[in-house]
Chain A
Amino acid sequence: MVKKALTSIHDLFNKYIMCFIKGDLSTRLSGLIMGFGMFTRGQIIKGLAYLFFQITFILFMIIRGLDYIIGLQTLGTVGQTRIFDEVRGIYVVYPGDNSMLMLLFGVATIFVVISFFLVYLSNLKTCYANQVSINNGIRPRNFRQEIDFYLNEKYHVTILTIPVIGTFMFTILPLIFMILIAFTNFDKNHQPPGNLFTWVGFNNFKDALWNDPLKSTTFFGLLIWTLVWAVLATALNYILGMILALMINKKGIKLKKFWRTIFVITIAVPQFVSLLLMSQLLADQGTLNVILRQLGFVKDFFPFLSNGDVAKFTVIIVNLWVGVPYSMLITSGILMNIPVDLYESAKIDGANARVQFMKITLPYMLFVTGPYLITQFIGNINNFNVIYLLTGGGPLTLNYYQAGKTDLLVTWLYKLTVNEQNYSLASTIGIFIFLLSAFFSLLVYNKTSSAKKEDEFQ
């Protein structure tokens, strides 16, 4: 992959250098004045557009851009100051540098510079192409032809421009901004606008992994629980959903539609409602405990949600309640699709029900639902709803840094941002979660038969 990237960069510069070596005077001049090679070859409006872009860019860089890039290195040096105004009788607040805005604008400026560079290259390429086509006796497209060209042959470029720009502005730019926060000390003691924050390199990563015993205990404790949870929640939901579907699908079961409907009805109740109800029901002084106490099963209460280990168990069970109907629906659809003749020939060959399941049903199911399982697994790693609404990550424990026994990494991240304003550590955790998700998705997906035998599917 790295090699590929290097080659493409190499190609890019090759083209660029070629424009200078083989280009004539006006092509070469367009390296200095954008659009020059278009003016001289009848593409006035296009050339003007390029020139306008160049002038805007230079003006922007002189007025603001350079400051933004310089500011990116320090993230601000002057804090907020207050000077007493005798006449008004108040302290006048003079805003200092705002590290957060400086980081944001700095990143945005880098995007602007990169996009300018790309436009600059396309300018050279176009000018060189114009020169070549004139040499071959073909007139370059005029403005009207250009529009036609972009509405027909190159329509995909036209229609994708706005989405691509939007993706860069609203997804990739904020993403990079937030990733960069992981390398700063942006927390409640370095909170703009009153205070500045600055670069601290990999300190947050070190803290989370080994440097700070409390934080690293929390990180690894929650990481292990996150993985255990994701595996159990995914596997149990899948297996139980499939068993349920198999049972309903079995020949001789009456009222199939009725059973299916009964289980699907749980989907009709919004997930968060079920979860909040469950958390009320299972609370120490909740309905279930009151009933258990009145029946004499427990003396005081059973800690469904207030004991770490029990709470972990409870969370997984409750998640089955909200998750099994979905996997039942999906699997029963696929079960009905398995050709009956496969089973019939298996029966003739003397295969019993278990062998039929292991040799026909399961491989078929895994083949079709492999990607679904991966999505589920990744979804469970980040299953904020179930944990947050059911236990809120609790019970809190003294062994962890601002986290509870059932907190997933993602709910810890939430607490760090919302309660602790420790944005830099939260961003670091976010990066770890991304790495985790990406690693498992790629690893597992490449191992599934869906990916390996894509073309073999009947």
Chain B
Amino acid sequence: MKKIILLLSALLLVASLSACTKKKTEVTLKVWGSQEDQVMLQEMVDAFIAANTDKIYTITLGVVGEPDAKTKYLEDPEAAADVFSFPNDQISGLVDAGALYEVTLNKAAIIAANVAGSIDVSTVGGKLYAYPVTADNGYFLYYDKSVFSADDVKSLDTMLTKAATANKKVFMDVSNGWYIASFFIGAGNTFKTVDGKKVIDFNNATGLKVGEFIKSFTANSAFVTGDDAYLKGNIGTTIAAGVSGTWNASDISTVLGANYAATKLPSYMLGTTSTQMGSFAGYKLMGVNALTKFPEEAMALAEFLTNEANQIKRFETRKLGPSNIKAATSTTVVADVALAALAAQAAFAISQNSVPDSYWGPGEAFGLAMETKDYSKTIQEMLDAWVLQANGS
């Protein structure tokens, strides 16, 4: 029996040796991207293959949108793409699961080329795990110039009063942990990582005041909630201003035409102090699968797909805001209304690195209770429940 095993292993050895003696190495890589990015990605990949003729590349594209990247990856890591992009809030989960390759090749150049915030979210425990792709995954305020002046949109309270008299609405999807956090961040509530555990403090005295404000805001007759489709369908008619992100920019600018405007989020009255609303600064990142068979090649591809030229290409074809400093300061990018508003909001934005995994569900539940004016529990009780679920026991 031993002989058989020996014979088999000898055969295997010969086979693997003969594979090595081939002239050019064959590299097979898989890239995941969203449906809308497929054509653009294919062009980028073709350019990469054309630029690297020293190896024979076979690069296939798969349709997995950024929001699903983590879920799809964890379903079967070995079958997942070698290079895939994902929103920055997924990075800690992916790193915990051992999914991402640490970026060590050209690390300094990548850090120097991208805005500090994007590098910050790509770094976990002092190690760089991803290549920043875009810096536009945040939210700000769209408004109708025929209703609000540039001064009006500085204060949420002014906006609400003015909208009410004009019989218009101010839109915000409060039943969403991502948007509702805006009030808490602005007031100084924090997301922190304490001893490796992510925690929030929304149930303290400040948080309670914020909760009470959200209650009065959602109860205001000029407040309206809904989803993206509702915002896009009604802005300009019933909705005069709405909180949303760059992905709706082209639709909203078409609807509003000459009245299209965007700016940073307004401030609101927290008790007696005027408080600027905060936000999450969101980035899209590209990572290399830790289980890839070709780490160097996959890293080279990821670096290529996220370089300055390709970030500009992303902006030109898909209006995606670049994280690359040179690309972000190019004149065309700076002239974009939505991206300029996002840049103005950036000063009040925080990263999502310390948001607990279980933050979202209860956040949505809290917002929903506010929207439907379900006051069966006090604000303090609800905030306590939210914090308990998010922080875990």
Contact = CB atoms under 8 A, between A and B. Distances in A.
A133 interface: no
Given A90-B105, A397-B365, A418-B71, 4 more contacts: A93-B98, A192-B77, A284-B225, A399-B385
B271 interface: no
Nearest to A310: B372
A111 to B, nearest CB: 22
B364 interface: yes
Contacts of B1: 59, 62
A274 interface: no
Interface stretch (B144-152, B261-269, B325-333, B354-362): B354-362
A135 to B, nearest CB: 38
A373 B59 CA distance: 54
Contact of A90 (B97, B101, B388): B101
Contacts of A395: 365, 368, 372
Nearest to B4: A59
Interface string B374-390: 10010000100110110
A91 B368 contact: no
Given A284-B226, A398-B366, A80 B98 contact: yes
A190 B83 CA distance: 23
Interface in A58-74: 59, 62-63
A399 B369 CA distance: 12
B226 A194 contact: no
Interface in A106-128: none
A93 B291 contact: yes
Q: Max chain B CB contacts within 10 Å: which of A62, A284, A307?
A: A284
Of B78, B104, B368, B369, most A-chain CB atoms within 10 Å: B368
A285 interface: yes
B160 to A, nearest CB: 15
A214 B392 CA distance: 10
Cβ-closest 9 pairs across A and B: A194-B98, A398-B385, A396-B365, A191-B97, A285-B226, A194-B97, A398-B365, A80-B98, A306-B372
Interface in A255-313: 283-285, 303, 306-307
B75 to A, nearest CB: 9
A91 B102 contact: yes
B383 to A, nearest CB: 9
B96 A189 contact: yes
Given A80-B98, A394-B368, A418-B71, A89 B105 contact: yes
A404 B365 CA distance: 8
A306 B364 CA distance: 12
A421 interface: yes
A381 to B, nearest CB: 24
Contacts of B385: 398-399
5 contacts: A59-B1, A95-B291, A191-B74, A214-B389, A306-B372
B96 A398 contact: no
Interface of A: 59, 62-63, 79-80, 82, 84, 88-93, 95, 188-189, 191-195, 212, 214, 283-285, 303, 306-307, 394-399, 401-402, 404, 418-421
Nearest to A191: B97
Nearest to B230: A285
Given A90-B101, A91-B102, A193 B291 contact: yes
Contacts of A404: 365
Contacts of B172: none
Contacts of B250: none
Nearest to A394: B368
B371 A91 contact: no
A404 B225 CA distance: 19
B93 interface: yes
A194 B224 contact: no
Nearest to A308: B374
B290 A80 contact: yes
B26 interface: no
B295 interface: yes
B84 to A, nearest CB: 16
A90 B295 contact: yes
> B-side binding surface: helix, strand, loop or mixed?
helix
B235 interface: no
Interface of B: 1, 5, 71, 74, 77-78, 93, 96-99, 101-102, 104-105, 224-226, 230, 290-291, 295-296, 299, 357-358, 361-362, 364-366, 368-369, 371-372, 374, 377, 382, 385-386, 388-389, 393
B101 A93 contact: yes
A100 to B, nearest CB: 10
A398 B97 CA distance: 28
A214 B102 CA distance: 37
Given A188-B93, A194-B96, A396-B361, A93 B290 contact: yes
B270 to A, nearest CB: 23
Nearest to B382: A398
A102 B362 CA distance: 35
A91 B362 CA distance: 38
Given A191-B97, A285-B230, A398-B385, A90 B361 contact: no
B105 A82 contact: no
A424 to B, nearest CB: 14
B86 to A, nearest CB: 15
A395 B225 CA distance: 15
A194 B368 contact: no
A421 B96 CA distance: 13
A421 B358 CA distance: 12
Nearest to A91: B102
A206 B350 CA distance: 39
B357 A188 contact: yes
Nearest to A193: B77
Contacts of A84: 104
A306 B371 contact: yes
A306 B74 contact: no
Contacts of A212: 393
A317 to B, nearest CB: 19
Contacts of B74: 188, 191, 421
B272 to A, nearest CB: 29
Nearest to B299: A90
A90 B372 contact: no
Given A93-B290, A396-B365, A195 B372 contact: no
A418 B296 CA distance: 32
Contact of A307 (B77, B98, B230, B372): B372
Contacts of A284: 225-226, 371-372
Nearest to B357: A188
Contact of A396 (B98, B102, B368): B368
Contacts of A307: 372, 374
A394 B371 CA distance: 14
Contacts of B295: 88, 90, 92-93
A285 B230 CA distance: 8
A282 to B, nearest CB: 14
A194 B393 contact: no
A90 B296 CA distance: 8
B63 to A, nearest CB: 18
A292 to B, nearest CB: 15
A239 B217 CA distance: 46
Nearest to B365: A396
A334 B382 CA distance: 53
A303 B372 contact: yes
Chain A CB within 10 A, most for which of B98, B102, B290: B98
A82 B290 CA distance: 10
A420 to B, nearest CB: 8
Contact of B99 (A63, A189, A194, A398): A194
